[in-house]
Amino acid sequence: MGTTAGIRRISVRTVLIGVYATITIIMLTGYLLSYNLRNTTTEEYEHFMEISRTLSEITLVVNECEYHYNRYLRERTEEDLQSYSTKAKNIERNLTNIAEALQEYPETLAYHRTFYNMNEYQYHKIMEIARIPALTAEDYQDLTYVATLFQYMKQQSQELMVSYLNFGNERYSNLLEEAQRLERRVHSSMFLLAFMSIWLGMILSRGILQKIKQISKASQKLSEGHWEMQDIKSDRYIELHAMAHAFNNMKKDIKRYIEEQQSKAQLEKQLVEERLLVEQQDKLLKEAKLLTLQMQMNPHFLFNTLNMIRRVIQLQEKDTAVSLVGAISDILRYNLDNRGRLVPLSDEIRTLEAYNLIQQVRFQDRLCVKLNVCGNLEDITVPPLILQPMVENAIVHGLADRNSGGIIEIDVARGATEVIVRIQDNGRGISKERMQEVMHSNLNENSQSIGIMNVRNRLELQYGRQDLFRIESEENKGTRITIVIPIKRGMV
């Protein structure tokens, strides 16, 4: 709580805590009262049921006493006499335990005293009979009296229980009615007090809501660009005063920031235009470099192929010559027609098959090329001439020294997001030192072969990634080249 410019302010938090604390205390108090009333009624009912169970048990025990007494008269066993004695004492103990609880019921207490005296008298009478060594006709009157007394005790126990149930039910009903009446009063009081607390909270919060709505409307106008609107007036609540003050400062800061941004807009526009110009120049340079790399082709391969065609013609192998001319024509046409653009991977593989045909004719039994393709490749596009240079490199550098048994395996497999191409030979391999030189050197612009570096650089330029080309090799065990082609649909 504080004062500023003569206004006494209070925290919204304090007001809300006070209102809700009052409501909580009222609710908790009412709950505790109701809980206490329910517990009291429940305890009274449980006490009533406990005494009722005791009275029911007494009636059953009277029957058991009669049974053991009659059996004792027939068989005269100490076990039956002891059982009777134990159960008679049990009746006496139960009657003693409930005597205090029956003080509030005069009629029931009278039944209780009568039954207690009957049980005590009967016990002593039976003990006297038990001390007679042999019963005679003179003892018949006592035996008859005891038997009659058992019947009276049964009747008395029933009347005792019925009397207690009548008085107990009446008392429990009165207690339950009183508890319900008191609970209704508590609930009414709770409802009234809660309503008063809510009403007080609404009165206190109305001013808070009005100020919040005012700030909300001002925020809406501010979002629409009305920077010249008047400042929000201060409030008696500390938090709302702080919000209004912060909003006014924010409005001034935003206005000042916009003015600064407008003064910088022209300069920013100029910088963006210059950046776009530089990016366009970089793009043109990249495209020119990619085209230059693609245009590189090994002239020795063309020269050797033409000489081979000449020799085949001289040997009168016309069909072979026609196949070679068709293959070299397909390769030259493919190279000339696809300058500077992407081609279907299926076309790249057909060109590779034409190249393999030429090399099979040239090397005969010295070379075996195996091509395995898995998956549809018609919608996959790649830079042209990325597979043939790899096979050429394997032949020239890996298998050149082999007189027979040269094998090149080419596996093309399509996955969900990329195509994996593996080219593996059983040639002489590459040493670790030489492999490091190959993978970390720059492409020589005067190179006569497209080669490894040409393909690697074109893949990096095309896809903007440096993890698409990998070489694994070991001396005298061959070389494996892996090319990863990301799948980009709709580019054919």
State how far the Cα of 114 lies from the Cα of 99, in Å rounded to an integer. Answer: 12
pLDDT at 101 over 80: no
Task: Please give the share of the chain, as a percent, with pLDDT higher than 70.
Answer: 83
Span 348-361, mean pLDDT?
88
pLDDT at 276 over 70: yes
Model confidence at 292, pLDDT cuts 50, 70, 90, reads low
* Sheet architecture: strand order including 406-414: 367-374, 406-414, 418-425, 478-486, 469-474
Span 398-407, mean pLDDT?
79
Instruction: Dump pLDDT digits (tens) for 360-397.
Output: 888 888 888 899 999 888 888 888 888 888 888 888 77
Task: Give CA separation, 103 vs 110, 118, 144, 163, in Å.
Answer: 10, 19, 34, 13
Instruction: Round the average pLDDT of the chain to a whole number and report it.
Output: 77
Pairing verdict, β 367-374 and 406-414? parallel
Between 286 and 300, the more confident residue is: 300
pLDDT at 293 over 70: no
Model confidence at 449, pLDDT cuts 50, 70, 90, reads very low
Highest mean pLDDT (candidates 33-47, 223-237, 413-427, 433-447): 413-427
pLDDT of residue 489: 57
Model confidence at 410, pLDDT cuts 50, 70, 90, reads very high
Q: What is the residue type of 22?
A: T
Contacts of 277 (CB under 8 A, 6+ apart): none
pLDDT of residue 409: 94
The CA R_g of the chain, rounded to the nearest whole Å, is 55
Among residues 284, 387, 294, the alpha carbon closest in space to that of 341 is found at 294
Contacts of 471 (CB under 8 A, 6+ apart): 430, 435, 438, 439, 452, 479, 480, 481, 482
DSSP-derived secondary structure for 87-100: HHHHHHHHHHHHHG
pLDDT of residue 62: 82
pLDDT of residue 419: 93
* Contact status, residue 418 vs residue 486, Cβ threshold 8 Å: yes
pLDDT of residue 432: 81
Instruction: Dump pLDDT digits (tens) for 331-352.
Output: 888 877 776 678 898 998 999 9
Here the tokens at position 476 are: 């005298």
pLDDT at 421 over 90: yes
Among residues 408, 409, 392, 311, the alpha carbon closest in space to that of 351 is found at 392
pLDDT of residue 3: 42
pLDDT of residue 4: 46
pLDDT at 185 over 70: yes
Model confidence at 423, pLDDT cuts 50, 70, 90, reads very high
Task: Please give the share of the chain, as a percent, with pLDDT higher than 90.
Answer: 5
Between 53 and 170, the more confident residue is: 53
pLDDT of residue 480: 92
